Amino acid sequence: MRVAVPKETGAGERRVALVPDSVGRLTAAGFSIVVERGAGTAAGFADADYAAAGADVVDRGKLLAGAQAVVRVTGPAAEEVAELPPGIVLAGFLSPLSDTAGIERLTERGVVAFAMESIPRITRAQSMDALSSQSTVAGYKAVVAAADRLPRLFPLLMTAAGTVAPAKVLVLGAGVAGLQAIATARRLGAIVSGFDVRPAVREQVESLGASFLDLGIQGAETSGGYAAELTPDEQARQQAALEEQIPEFDVVITTALVPGRPAPKLIPAAAVEKMRPGSVIVDLAAETGGNCELTDPGSEVERHGVTIVGLTDFPSRTPYHASQLYSRNVTALLLHLAPGGELALDFEDEITGGACVTRPKVTA
């Protein structure tokens, strides 16, 4: 199977879907890989490294010739969909729950599309779990961004000029991103607290050396391991409890999500008002509306003296390792869809069927 890797076209996107290391692996497994010139440059991977790993490096106009699959980080723009040969396989973050127009275009074009976010989170598919790999990067980067903006130091320092008290960090939502944020803030020396509505998480938070913030709220966990949405009454109680506790903290990192729903509002404007000037909120849920009422998705604002970071591209801001991890996820998916480099799609398979979001209709 010949797999094409375009240079990403999304605004500000620096990642690339396959890195040279994966090209070597796939080539050895029977694939042929063609990479658009400059595709990896922004992430730190040179054309020469792709060529050395066995890829053909070509100009955009020649990329799709003979290709049976295209792998990307984010979905193709409308004009790129129009260039895709019908029947071609496409894999990437395709936002199947929110980008209905994009999915419709792919359906009309007859593309066999696999959304990385739709890969079932079962043990067998762990190596393909790009939501987790990118959340890990985002959780780390959110803490680094907060440390950079905070006018205080993170660690306890005892110096000849006196003692510096450590920063206090609160992480709301302790899934993949939240746990990485907790671990990173701990490594930087902060005193860290974590909270999640899923009761099972307490132990994981504590095992990272953080304390579990008791808000007196406990939600349900779905069979898939995700949080169920809180009732309006529980949400109001959570907001009130946080409003009381939040002024204690210098940094709040929020990562709370409920699949298929807008991000739960955890931090009301009144709570931001009570924080100390110079405090920082990094809202990793900004893309689905944000966990803080005052977050401006995609940008960074100051409200009541508090910096609120609503950037939605943290993985792309760490493009080398975000690409490396994503590339391993994509490689595992390709090896699943085309063992030995021969496409063999079995839509009865839980991974193949679950991740496929569009395919040509079979007429009887």
Stretch that binds ligand NAD, among 21-29, 100-108, 169-177, 242-250 (CB under 6 A): 169-177
CB of 53 vs ligand NAD, minimal distance in Å: 29
Work out which of 35, 81, 230, 271 binds ligand NAD, going by CB under 6 A. Answer: 230
> Does residue 172 belong to the site contacting ligand NAD (CB under 6 A)?
yes
Work out which of 32, 132, 245, 352 binds ligand NAD, going by CB under 6 A. Answer: 132
Alpha-carbon gap, residue 3 to 289, rounded angstroms: 35
Alpha-carbon gap, residue 188 to 7, rounded angstroms: 35
CB of 219 vs ligand NAD, minimal distance in Å: 6
Query: Residues 259, 284: contact at Cβ < 8 Å?
Result: no
Catalytic residue among 2, 32, 99, 226: 226
CB of 343 vs ligand NAD, minimal distance in Å: 25
Work out which of 136, 255, 316, 329 binds ligand NAD, going by CB under 6 A. Answer: 255
**Which tokens go with 143?**
């803490």
Cα distance from N-terminal residue to C-terminal residue, the chain = 27
Alpha-carbon gap, residue 95 to 100, rounded angstroms: 8
| Contact letters for ligand NAD, residues 183-222 (x by CB under 6 A) | ------------xxxx------------------------
> Does residue 39 belong to the site contacting ligand NAD (CB under 6 A)?
no
Work out which of 126, 211, 222, 231 binds ligand NAD, going by CB under 6 A. Answer: 126
> Does residue 27 belong to the site contacting ligand NAD (CB under 6 A)?
no
Based on the number of CB atoms within 10 Å of its own CB, is 36 exposed (0-12), middle (13-18) or buried (19 or more)? buried
Alpha-carbon gap, residue 17 to 21, rounded angstroms: 12
Q: Does 226 participate in catalysis according to the annotation?
A: yes
Q: Does 127 participate in catalysis according to the annotation?
A: no
E strands of the chain, at which residues?
2-5, 32-36, 56-58, 69-74, 89-93, 112-115, 157-159, 162-164, 168-172, 191-195, 211-212, 251-254, 280-283, 300-303, 306-309, 356-358
Instruction: Residue 87: count other Cβ atoms within 10 Å of its Cβ.
Output: 12
Query: Residues 94, 115: contact at Cβ < 8 Å?
Result: yes
Of 256 and 275, which CB lies nearer to ligand NAD in the complex structure?
256
Which stretch of DSSP H or E encloses residue 65? none
> Total binding residues for ligand NAD by CB under 6 A?
30
> Does residue 121 belong to the site contacting ligand NAD (CB under 6 A)?
yes
Q: Which residues are catalytic?
A: 121, 126, 129, 132, 226
Binding site for ligand NAD (CB under 6 A): 121, 123, 126, 129, 131-132, 135, 172-178, 195-198, 225-227, 230, 238, 255-259, 264, 266
